[in-house]
Structure 1
Amino acid sequence: MRESRLFRIVYYLLQNGKATAPELAQKFEVSIRTIYRDIDSISSVGIPIYATQGKGGGISILNDYTLDKSLFSEQEQEQMLTALQGMIVTTEKNSNELLTKLSGLFQIKSTNWIEVDFSDWAHRTPQQDTFNIIKEAIFQKRTISFCYFSGKGNKEKRNVRPIRLVFKSKSWYLYSFCLLRNDYRFFKLTRIKELEMLSETFTQDLTPTKIEKQIQVENTVAVKLKFDRQAAFRVYDEFTDNITEDSQGNLYVQVDLPYNEVLYSYVMSFSDSVEVIEPQSIREQMKKRLQKMQEKYRT
């Protein structure tokens, strides 16, 4: 806690140029004596901080000083900048400005060795408006209302208490307490429509440990798939491990998939390049679905 305050004092002075001891004491909610002890500690690690008496005086840091490696190791600096760079896509526009400021403080010239982009090659952008409304609702502890399209094709009106935004398996999800189901649920952001932040607030404050106990593990089933060799690029993109190949170049994968509609829509996304080998029950279900699709094109 004290180390965090020392860094915040340094950053505050770098931003504002100068501050009085009473001003810093009020801002960081400590005594003036504690502020002077903090200044001694900051000075002892080589940061040129000093105090001047009289009118116009105060505590300040030399104008040409940068943080460099005084408070963070090189690895910690890189981790901080990389994490911030990954967050830019989901935060406000001034994140880029903050990234530039931090790289300047750390005297790091290049921060563009990595780029995080959640949009696909068709240039569809993330659900930014939805994301921002939910984010604000989480901060303000306000109930939100929306229409949701379930995996079964149903459209339902939901009022929920938002808890956190989760990025998993290439998609954003909202984890919240659903007032309709009176239970905790995940909602995929792309299926949320007509989103509205309500005036109703809530005081519920769940800790991560309490949240984890409420998450229901999705049922999965082990599926063995056979792929034609022309689908190799996608197979290696999406499975990476446990891929075997026969003498004809066909690829085989054993994978756990959600035991619901997601399984069938995912397998069908490979078109005629895939065949379900096991289990037999899934194979039979695929046959029925394909026959039903054929019926639609016979007339």
Structure 2
Amino acid sequence: MKTERMLSILIYLLQKKKVSAEELANEFEVSKRTIYRDMDALSSIGIPIISYLGKNGGFTLIDTYQLDKFTFNEEEKKFLLEGLSLKNELFDSHQFSILQRKIELLQENNEEYHSPITVLSSTLHRKTIEEETKLKVKNILSVIEEGYKICISYVSQTANISSRIIQPLKLNFMDGSWYLEAYCEDKEALRLFKLTRIRNMEVIKDKTRTAYSHSNANLGNEKQMEQIILQFAKSELGKLYDFFTDDEISILEDGRIAVAFHYEVNKNILPFILMFGSRVKILSPQWLKDEYMKEIQIIYKS
């Protein structure tokens, strides 16, 4: 704690011509006596601190002293602050707020930084689910750092519930959701687990590392793509720009909209299509038309 405070004081002095012991004491929430001891400690390790006595006294560094390797330009400081703001939204950690405050002290104007970027919701989930997922992220990061394994209860996309012992490797944020990349001992291969589908998690304090090969792991790297052509009502144009590019969208003579794009065959696109109700029509492929009609019939009968 003392070393961290002394480094922060040194950075603070780099941004000031002269600073009083009282100002430093207030800034770092310690007594003036502690500040004097910190100054003596900094001087003893060769930091060229100049002390001024009297009513307008204080501390400063000699003009030629710089810490080029530890300082950032204003653009770099803003970049770091914006990154911390985004990471704080994703991970919800008090540590990021502390880091943000420390970097704010590095700014030349020493004012609180207001990022031009605001993230109101980092995922597509409801707030309650986001909070639950952030807690899982925090716990899993701790498990990865310790090198432990976990036993999870997992619900697959097809509603199959299984118990797995896995070795967590890293977290991936994809398509608005968190996924855990882990070695599954049951499947003896790398797998991706969606965090919202991990219903229970128990830490196993076993640091035995299982040998595996990334090159042989099947994480869906070989994607089979197929062209899908849909037709939408003209009222859906605004929504379509949330999902498709200009090159994929064509406006027809009657105002309706045709969309042609490539999609992974092993991914279920029906929930997306059903979201548009009667305002969408599947033009191709035929198998997708058939699956869509089956789904509509199931919904109707239920």
Matches within 5 A, 1:202-213: 202-203=208-209, 211=214
Give TM-score, length-normalised by structure 2: 0.71
Distance 1:271 1:64, change over 3 A: farther
Query: 2:224 is matched with which residue: 198, 203, 219?
Result: 219
Deviations 1:103-140 (A, max 9, x none): 22133643421123314585342511111111111111
1:118 aligns with 2:118: no
Structure 2 equivalent of residue 190 of structure 1: 196
Kept in 2, the 8 Å contact 1:176–1:186? The answer is: yes
Percent of aligned pairs with the same residue?
22
The 1:93/1:149 distance shift into structure 2, 3 A limit, reads same
Q: Equivalents in 2 of 1:239, 1:54: separation in Å? A: 60
CA distance in 2, matches of 1:230, 1:122: 27
Paired residues, number: 251
**1:69 CA displacement:** 10
Q: Deviations over 1:156-188 (max 9, x none)?
A: 111110000001111110001011111001111
How large is the Cα RMSD of the aligned pairs? 3.3
- Tell me which stretches of 4 or more aligned residues in structure 1 moved more than 4 Å: 10-13, 52-56, 61-70, 119-122
**Corresponding residue SS for 1:112:** coil
- Deviation, 1:281, is 1.5
Q: Could you tell which deviates more after superposition, 117-126 or 248-257? A: 117-126
Structure 2 residue corresponding to 1:246, chosen from 252, 263, 268:
252
The 3 A distance-change label for structure 1 pair 12 and 80 is same
Q: Give TM-score scaled by structure 1 length.
A: 0.72
Q: Which amino acid aligns with 1:256?
A: H
CA contact (8 A) 2:124 2:177 kept: no
Cross-structure match for 2:99: 98
CA distance 1:11–1:246, change in 2 (3 Å): farther
Q: Distance in 1 between matches of 2:301 and 2:42?
A: 89
Q: Is the 8 A contact 2:250 2:258 kept in 1?
A: yes
Unaligned runs of 5+ in 1: 1-9, 19-51
Deviation at 1:67, TM superposition (A): 7.4
Distance change >3 Å, CA 202–CA 81, structure 1 → 2: farther
**SS at 2:296's partner residue?**
helix
Cα distance in 2 between the residues matched to 1:270 and 1:61:
68
SS of the equivalent of 1:203 reads: coil
User: Unaligned stretches of 5+ in structure 2?
Assistant: 12-38, 50-58
